[in-house]
Amino acid sequence: MTQNTPPSQPSSGDSKPIPTRGRFPLLDRVSQPVDLRNLSIDQLKQVADELRSETVETVSTTGGHLGASLGVVELTVAIHAVFDTPDDRLIWDVGHQAYPHKIITGRRDRIRTLRQPGGLSGFTRRSESEYDPFGAAHSSTSISAGLGMAVAHHLRAEDDPSYRERNVIAVIGDGSISAGMAYEAMNNAAVAGEGAERLIVILNDNEMSIAPPVGSMSNYLSRLMSSRQFMGLRDLAGKFVKKLPDRLERTAKKAEEYARGMITGGTLFEELGFYYVGPVDGHDLTQLVPILRNLRDTDQGPILLHVITEKGHGYKPAEAAGDKYHAVAKFNVVTGEQKKAPPGPPSWTNIFARELVDRAATDSRITAITAAMPSGTGLDKFAAKFPDRFFDVGIAEQHAVTFAAGMATEGLRPFCAIYSTFLQRAYDQVMHDVVLQKLPVRFAIDRAGLVGADGATHAGSFDIAYLGCLPGMTIMAPSDEIELLNMTATACEFDEGPIALRYPRGNTYGLELPAKGEIIQIGKGRIVREMGQQSGREKGGIAILSLGPRLEEALKAADQLAAHGLPPTVADARFAKPLDTQLVEQLARDHAVLITIEEGSVGGFGSLVAQHLSQTGLLDHVRLRTMTLPDTFIDHDSQFEQYNTARLNAPHIVQTALKALGIVEQQSSSVRMASGV
């Protein structure tokens, strides 16, 4: 067995004394997984109990994904105790269940920096530890990546006889395995050759009833089927039936598969070419450890081990909660009571949901579709009112988009509500199945822009760019909650083609809302503030053209510039596409400097404005400055600090304006004043 080396540590985030050290005597002895490998089953059970308590203590101070992590504590301990990680590769699908994994892979001293500025990621990350061989935060990638690793190991071993082939273990949840990509990977594994023999997929089943109840008999059968003796007997039987005529060989093989399928529920996975073992109680180390040892020592793969777990297992408040504490704020460990933020205005998500539900009450053509995120997108409210018109398709964004396209062909008005970062997974369907056919699918793009503690993996940075290049796409971005009501209402009535409205994570501004949204003119922006009459470029002046919620920061910047005797014009673009060309041309003609600002990447709204000004020749007569997210990934932090990092807050707008006017000396004092320094 290879001696493991300590994982590399990222430069950011400070290691601190472990506040629970001394309370958990066995866990204190585990600095790396190798420390688990000489422990007895009883000792491993104690480690699991202590690890669960440490996980609860940690998340109570940081917030994060608790329920899924508690559900895999025993599985985490068993895998690291049996396999030679990190040489054997362990991949956690999505990764939000990997907190216990992080604790026992050399990161316990930093675990309370989880999701904090400069601290550990809430997901697996290759740059964070050698025990994270594949970064993940979007679902259903683990089997594909694991198969790639397994095949690579085999090819390397063939080329270099001294290279030891590794086991690859991919842990995937019952929700993640609903995505088509998981089945594409399993289908390919069946024909990937000898390289797939070291692939072990562990199906972590904590919600879907896809198997009979777990009991002593099924545990016994699982141990039997994973044993070397049974696999050897099965291999011998396979060689025997190959001597039979083809028809009898096929019949014998089917009989064996279906006999085991009746006991285990594994026929589907057998048909995909996997040797199925399970179901197994995922909280019983007495069962898990010997089964994993059997699977480690066989070359009969690819193998699928089906384990039954419970989200929130072992922590009573989580077990009693409806969501099993899937994602929590900081909480009291004893009572489980989460710290509530002070009451404030409604979220952008709730504003969208309110208007959609109101419109659907009088328009039976409106339907709502989401991909496993009914509460996250606000569509749980729609589902409660109109269950027959609500569709949660599971983690299947590609299907969601084309499903919506099919509805649109028959005269319905489908809303496809998907986070910006997840809509990326269905880009071909957006282009080919919706935009190319000019179908009126409405895309409600939640979590647009930067998202805080979830970091770069969940940031909605790219939708303006990836949708803006598609012919015939309409893209709206509300600057406040009233605008969101109006744009939702507009999308309901827009039947000329695909339309998208993008809005951020978090709370709105607390504006008084009208009873219902109003229909706005497609492709028309608005002047929000015009400070003084400016009839020509020769009079100078600054124009700020904002798309989306950065309008608030643009108005703050306008106040600061006005204090310097430079009152700008501020406009709300409303639409990235179709562009309000009349407004853009007016601003370019009447001002010396035109600044665009957006919560999106390079290649988005600012690029569309620059393209139009270039074509009209107006780019020769105005100093255009486009403010976008930088061409890099921004790590987890508060949303405000992320936008500071991106240089998209009011002081940065002021600095950009002054620099464009060549006012260098005033620039520094202005930025200091704007920052409150």
Angle formed at CA 182 by CA 152 and CA 444, multiple of 5 degrees: 125
Strand partners, 530: 569
**How far apart, in whole angstroms, are the C-alpha atoms of residue 139 and residue 16?**
32
**How far apart, in whole angstroms, are the C-alpha atoms of residue 359 and residue 382?**
11
Which letter does DSSP use for residue 628 in this model? -
Number of Cβ within a 10 Å radius of residue 511: 13
- How far, CA to CA in Å, does 282 sit from each of 15, 74, 78, 87, 647? 32, 7, 10, 24, 47
**How far apart, in whole angstroms, are the C-alpha atoms of residue 434 and residue 409?**
10
Task: State the Cα torsion 88-93-95-101 to the nearest 10°.
Answer: -30
Burial of 536 (0-12, 13-18, 19+ CB in 10 A): exposed
**Which of these, 54, 147, 141, lies nearest to 92 by C-alpha position?**
141
> To 10 degrees, what angle do helices 216-225 and 246-264 make?
140
Number of Cβ within a 10 Å radius of residue 361: 11
Task: State the Cα torsion 22-25-29-33 to the nearest 10°.
Answer: -120
According to the 3-state scheme, what is the secondary structure of 212-238? CCCCHHHHHHHHHHCCHHHHHHHHHHH
Pairing mode, if any, of strands 569-572 and 526-530? antiparallel
Number of Cβ within a 10 Å radius of residue 8: 11
Pairing mode, if any, of strands 474-476 and 575-577? antiparallel
**How far apart, in whole angstroms, are the C-alpha atoms of residue 132 and residue 7?**
9
* Cα torsion 100, 101, 104, 110: sign: negative
* Distance separating the N- and C-terminal Cα atoms of the chain: 58
Which letter does DSSP use for residue 206 in this model? S
* Cα torsion 640, 646, 649, 652: sign: positive
**Which of these, 577, 595, 348, 392, lies nearest to 483 by C-alpha position?**
348
Burial of 304 (0-12, 13-18, 19+ CB in 10 A): buried
Catalytic residues: 311, 397, 425
